[in-house]
């Protein structure tokens, strides 16, 4: 593994000076999403120079994916900054001027919104009837709190009510970044040298607790430079392209969905039983977006969303929708606002198994079905097909397999903590500590499912390593002379 030497002016820092006097630990970060980039940035800022990031896909950002669409930016992944004061994503965006590109109306209400703030939702039945607003108002707040799309769960029956309070909300409004959430990703990555980031580099297997001989046998195709030969390597990473990399520490930021699918073959030896059980017990599902762009609006100026109310829903409540009826999981289409930025655009949400079925359809089919839904619920048979459609497909992405985590029935916050625990546990003195560390939104007990949870988890794992080496160097300097 090539050493990535980075010049630093921080040699007055005790840790940086100590790292310059010793062999730099070899650190590999798997994943270039918010967690991976935050971990890498923190390590580099603290004097660690032999850091490599392996990203399976051909882009950075993970579940942040901003798409330029005409004159605007659409978010296929993360959209909102949830809360303000104390939210590192909010402060990062604010400090870099990403929240300033707003209209006067948006500034006056103290938030940025995708939806018309003074508009009203139209609740429509599948027979084209409008439900009076006062009939649904008393239920709307509760519905918005527990809607399954918000939890990224197939059904609220799968969300653990006893653990529902684990998630902690940061006070403040929800904000969006008009120029794209990807700008936060780019800010985190801007000081990371390009040679540190290796894209299209999926990892097949992580060998940990390796003896020196084991590592040599596994990595017989590795490029052994002089920095690698003198010391044992407790971790060896096999990449899909057959390249092997040796490391002292690896920070795994793979999504929970990927771990569920691949952990049995990804780790050698396998994960300890309690960690493997945490992977299986915690929940993650797919939440997808469908954007429909029309040449002209067919909705009235005051409408900010079209909510679908199926009159025969009770007949299906005890069973999953048949595969061909996946579209019944689309609960609404929201009007994106302001039109000067988004044009005449609707945004729909779909989650669970139905989202996966939607992903298997082509764009033309999805556009036709969504148009028929809108005609049926509004009673307007003259609604044209959208001129453009754009949609996400997080469930079928082989390196992600889901949108964000939730506390599934049978799981608890303790499972989140187990998922976050490094291998081997630091109290185990028989093997080199902190060989494999875990980050990502699913590993943050209070802020799982959020971008700020992902960022903080990456910083947390980087700080584990910083503290490990600070302690090691401190112990070395205080060792008594004999």
* pLDDT (tens digit per residue) in 24-70: 999 999 999 999 999 999 999 999 999 999 999 999 999 999 999 88
pLDDT in the model for residue 242: 96
- Do 276 and 324 lie in one domain? The reply is no
- Do 252 and 295 lie in one domain? The reply is no
At residue 101, does pLDDT exceed 60?
no
- Do 308 and 369 lie in one domain? The reply is yes
pLDDT in the model for residue 226: 37
Is residue 92 one of the residues assigned to a domain?
no
pLDDT in the model for residue 129: 86
CATH code of residue 189: 3.50.50.60
Is residue 330 one of the residues assigned to a domain?
yes
Residue 128: other Cβ atoms inside 10 A: 13
Separation of alpha carbons 305 and 387, rounded Å: 19
At residue 119, does pLDDT exceed 90?
no
Q: b or e along 153-191 (b: 16 or more beta carbons within 10 Å of the residue's beta carbon)?
A: bbeeebbbeebeebbeebebeebbbbbbbbbbbebbbee
Is residue 71 one of the residues assigned to a domain?
no
Contact 472, 428 (CB under 8 A): no
Using pLDDT thresholds of 50, 70 and 90, give the confidence band for residue 341. Answer: confident
pLDDT in the model for residue 216: 64
Separation of alpha carbons 207 and 213, rounded Å: 13
- Do 275 and 143 lie in one domain? The reply is no
pLDDT in the model for residue 472: 75
Is residue 408 one of the residues assigned to a domain?
yes
pLDDT in the model for residue 167: 78
At residue 403, does pLDDT exceed 50?
yes
pLDDT in the model for residue 214: 65
Separation of alpha carbons 270 and 208, rounded Å: 9
At residue 390, does pLDDT exceed 60?
yes
Decide which of 370, 391, 412 is a domain's last residue.
391
- Do 143 and 192 lie in one domain? The reply is no
Average pLDDT over residues 390-417: 94
Contacts of 134 (CB under 8 A, 6+ apart): none
- Do 139 and 195 lie in one domain? The reply is no
Average pLDDT over residues 224-244: 75
- Do 326 and 358 lie in one domain? The reply is yes
Is residue 335 one of the residues assigned to a domain?
yes
Is residue 76 one of the residues assigned to a domain?
no
Is residue 382 one of the residues assigned to a domain?
yes
| % of the chain beyond a pLDDT of 90 | 60
Tokens of 97: 């001027």
- Do 343 and 356 lie in one domain? The reply is yes
Identify the domain containing residue 215 by its residue range. 14-62+183-283+401-477
- Do 163 and 217 lie in one domain? The reply is no
Is residue 43 one of the residues assigned to a domain?
yes
- Do 123 and 188 lie in one domain? The reply is no
Tokens of 251: 């920070």
Decide which of 332, 358, 391 is a domain's last residue.
391
**Total domains, the chain:** 2
How many CA atoms are closer than 13 Å to the CA of 397, on its beta-carbon side? 26
Separation of alpha carbons 337 and 224, rounded Å: 56
Average pLDDT over residues 383-393: 97
- Do 124 and 143 lie in one domain? The reply is yes
Decide which of 330, 359, 391 is a domain's last residue.
391
pLDDT in the model for residue 128: 87
- Do 187 and 278 lie in one domain? The reply is yes
In tens, the pLDDT along 120-131 reads 888 888 888 888
């Amino acid at each position: 593994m090539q050493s990535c030497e980075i010049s630093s002016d921080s040699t007055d820092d005790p840790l940086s000076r100590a790292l310059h006097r010793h062999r730099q630990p070899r650190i590999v970060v798997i994943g270039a999403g918010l967690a991976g980039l935050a971990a890498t940035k923190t390590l580099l800022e603290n004097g660690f120079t032999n850091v490599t990031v392996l990203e399976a896909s051909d882009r950075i950002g993970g579940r942040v994916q901003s798409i330029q669409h005409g004159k605007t930016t659409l978010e296929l992944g993360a959209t909102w900054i949830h809360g303000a004061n104390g939210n590192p994503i909010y402060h990062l965006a604010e400090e870099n001027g990403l929240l300033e590109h707003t209209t006067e109306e948006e500034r006056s209400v103290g938030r940025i919104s995708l939806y018309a703030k003074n508009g009203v939702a139209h609740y429509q039945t599948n027979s084209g009837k409008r439900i009076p607003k006062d009939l649904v108002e008393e239920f709307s707040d509760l519905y918005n709190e527990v809607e399954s799309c918000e939890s990224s769960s197939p059904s609220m029956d799968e969300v653990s009510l006893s653990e529902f309070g684990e998630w902690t909300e940061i006070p403040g409004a929800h904000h969006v970044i008009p120029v794209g959430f990807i700008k936060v990703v780019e800010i985190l990555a801007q000081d990371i040298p390009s040679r540190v980031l290796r894209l299209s580099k999926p990892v097949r297997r992580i060998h940990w607790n390796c003896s020196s001989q084991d590592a040599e046998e596994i990595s017989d195709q590795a490029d052994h430079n002089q920095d690698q030969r003198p010391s044992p390597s407790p971790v060896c990473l096999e990449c899909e392209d057959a390249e092997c990399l040796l490391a002292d520490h690896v920070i795994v930021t793979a999504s929970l969905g990927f771990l569920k699918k691949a952990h049995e073959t990804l780790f050698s030896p396998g994960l300890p039983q309690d960690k493997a059980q945490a992977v299986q017990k915690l929940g993650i599902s797919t939440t997808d977006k469908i954007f429909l762009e029309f040449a002209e609006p067919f909705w009235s100026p005051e409408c900010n969303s079209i909510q679908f109310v199926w009159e025969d829903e009770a007949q299906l409540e005890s069973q999953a929708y048949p595969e061909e009826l996946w579209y019944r999981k689309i609960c609404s289409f929201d009007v994106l606002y302001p039109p000067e930025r988004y044009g005449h655009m609707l945004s729909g949400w779909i989650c669970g198994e139905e989202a996966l079925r939607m992903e298997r359809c082509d764009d033309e089919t999805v556009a036709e079905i969504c148009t028929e839904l809108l005609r049926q619920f509004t009673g307007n048979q003259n609604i044209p097909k959208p001129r453009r459609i754009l949609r996400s497909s997080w469930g079928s992405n082989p390196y992600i397999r889901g949108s964000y985590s939730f506390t599934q029935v049978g799981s608890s916050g303790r499972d989140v903590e187990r998922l976050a625990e490094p291998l081997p546990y630091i109290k185990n003195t028989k093997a080199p500590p902190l060989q494999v560390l875990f980050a990502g939104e699913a590993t943050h007990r209070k802020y799982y499912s959020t971008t700020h949870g992902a960022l903080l988890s990456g910083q947390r794992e980087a700080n584990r390593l910083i503290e490990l080496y600070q302690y090691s160097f401190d112990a070395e300097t205080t060792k008594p002379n004999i």
